[in-house]
Amino acid sequence: MNREDFLAVYRHSMSHILAKAVIEIFGKENVQYAIGPQIDDGFYYDFLLPRTVTQEDFATIEDKMREIIKRREDWLVKEVSKADGLEMFSDQQFKKELIQDLPDEEKITVYYTGDDFVDLCRGPHIENSQDLMGVAFQIKSASGSYWRGDENREQLQRIYVYAFPDKQQLKEHLNFIKEAMERDHKKLGPQLELFMFDETAPGMPYWLPRGWRLYNTLQEFSRGLQDEYGYQEICAPIFNNRKLYLISGHWAHYQNNMFVVPELDRDEDGHILLDENGSFKMKPVEEADIYSAKPMNCPNAMIVFKSKTRSYRDLPLRLSENQVLHRKEKSGQLNGLLRVQEFRQDDDHTFVMESQIEEEIGKIFELTDKIYSTLGLEYRAELSTRPEDFMGDIEVWNDAERALKRILDSKYGEGGYEINEGDGAFYGPKIDLQMKDALGREWQCGTIQLDFQLPLNFELKYTAPDGSLKQPVVIHRALYGSFERFIAVIIENFKGAFPFWLAPTQVAVVPIKEEHNAYAKEVCDLLRANHIRYEVDYEDKNMNAKIKEFKNFKIPYIVVVGGNEAEECTVSINIRGTNQQLRGVPLDMFLDMCDQMNEEHSLELLDKKPE
């Protein structure tokens, strides 16, 4: 048995131990047990219990689990009929429901742990509880969940447990979790005053001044590189009539994720009509103009392409757009900046001839390498192929997938990338870019998608060299993906301590006393003139208190100025993350240091005076 199979077997078996422990603690008559699968770092089990499980219960449950393991009970598997299964679990509503959903002829397997606990399960499992003697485990948390993920069904309690083959691996994982929690963007974002949320706009971030500077710096960095590759930026309407999405196919495939604005009914004078309950009256659907906040930019790019006659000489035509998008998410799916309802995306839609596909995607990979390497990030590519609800001709899909495979084979070698069968967009296959952070976690941010369908739907044409009209191919491309998601990832990757060129505030200026404010202002004026982002504290308070406050925002350089600095036109510099201070650095030399790091997009701070 390989390691993955072993982890699955013993973690799944441990979930049965957890269920048995909970039943013994709360009493069988008080417990309805639902499902208990293994997950990446352990397992969980869902229960309906007479009271809420709290952290004070964790030790009691863990001790009971250890006690059960020490009993060295045999595990017995039996195959039973559907009728026998319903009888066996007659007092367990969730097990009965699972069994009732099975075909009548299907045989069911159940596992006994000792003589007094049985669970509905496909297995496989261990043979005796003693096989779990070396397993190291610890309850992670208890939280709410809905039966079958349906918010209209019973609310259950989900107990999560970490489980590893030995104590050392558990310890290493707990250290990893601790470090991940310290890097959590939902904690660091508000702490560093980057962004906030408010209940009046769920899943729609407020960008605070520091965060918006970070946002714009990333955007301008990307824009500068795109200029080198011949991209042209456009801006299209945020609200669009559903007619646009009927043409693109998004209305059929995506309307449940759209923020839809139905038309209100009005009288001849334009006054909104109310129904008998005092609620707004809607126009009949067949008469209404229904609008939606756009969930993606692609249909608008098609409209721009179609707005004038195009020639093969215009291609590739690269239309980029950083526009606000809205996607309707369930409240339980929202997760800081990682899963939001309002976001911006560094979109591009490049229109090409078929003969240009491979060369153009090669250039996109060049651009990707420049962006990710500048941020010190690694990535790998995955190919996602035709989904079940695909649009268009299957042979066109096959051609598109073959083209992307040739590109990936050329870049990574045959077999040097993963294939996700059936995970493509409904209009075309795609390459997803999986980015790795400082903790080794992978995040799907960028994407490159090949699309033969939208040009067909919108009847896009260009004039070929022989004078005939041909249909272009569209390459959808986002490298950051959602700015919000990407920023969440880099907050956690850098632990909020951004490289100098990216830091929201690059330099903090601290005058020692009020009489040094005039020189501090001179320093700030020069920083502004050199496009260096700064903050200054002119308040009449202790210098060390000012420094401490700026350190909380993880600012790369804190510049201290007093009488000597003013007299000699120098600065003294505290360097982030060190106890090091550079004293008496000539001001023009410090400005050169800052310019150098901005120009080079350096990941490291200069920690000595330039020669």
Q: Which residues participate in catalysis according to the annotation? A: 298, 327, 345, 347, 349, 430, 476
CA dihedral angle for residue 67, residue 68, residue 69, residue 75, rounded to 10 degrees = 170
Cα 72 to Cα 312: distance, rounded to the nearest angstrom: 75
Residue 185, helix vs strand vs coil: helix
Cβ(364)–Cβ(475) below 8 Å: yes
Neighbouring-strand partners of residue 509: 536, 559
- Residue 446 burial (CB < 10 Å; 0-12/13-18/19+)? buried
Cβ(325)–Cβ(478) below 8 Å: no
Which residue pairs, CB below 8 angstroms and at least 24 apart, start in 123-127?
123/12, 123/77, 124/9, 125/9, 125/12, 125/13, 125/16, 125/75, 125/77, 126/9, 126/10, 126/13, 126/75, 127/74, 127/75
Cα 375 to Cα 438: distance, rounded to the nearest angstrom: 11
- Name the amino acid, one letter, at 548: K
What is the pairing mode between strands 473-482 and 342-352?
antiparallel
Cα 553 to Cα 251: distance, rounded to the nearest angstrom: 44
Phi, psi of 540 (to 5 degrees): -85, 80
Cα 487 to Cα 192: distance, rounded to the nearest angstrom: 13
Query: What angle do helix axes 3-26 and 58-70 make, rounded to 10 degrees?
Result: 110
Cβ(16)–Cβ(119) below 8 Å: yes
* Cα–Cα distances in angstroms (integers) from residue 233 to residues 191, 216, 229, 318, 487, in the given order: 34, 15, 12, 8, 21
Neighbouring-strand partners of residue 435: 379, 443
Cα 8 to Cα 395: distance, rounded to the nearest angstrom: 39
The C-alpha angle 264, 269, 273, rounded to 5 degrees, equals 35
Cβ(546)–Cβ(539) below 8 Å: yes
Cα 445 to Cα 379: distance, rounded to the nearest angstrom: 10
Cβ(367)–Cβ(404) below 8 Å: no
Residue 230: which residues within 8 A CB-CB, separation 6 or more?
A: 316, 318
Cα 558 to Cα 578: distance, rounded to the nearest angstrom: 12
Query: Around Cβ 369, how many Cβ atoms within 10 Å?
Result: 11
Query: Around Cβ 155, how many Cβ atoms within 10 Å?
Result: 10
Neighbouring-strand partners of residue 161: 43, 139
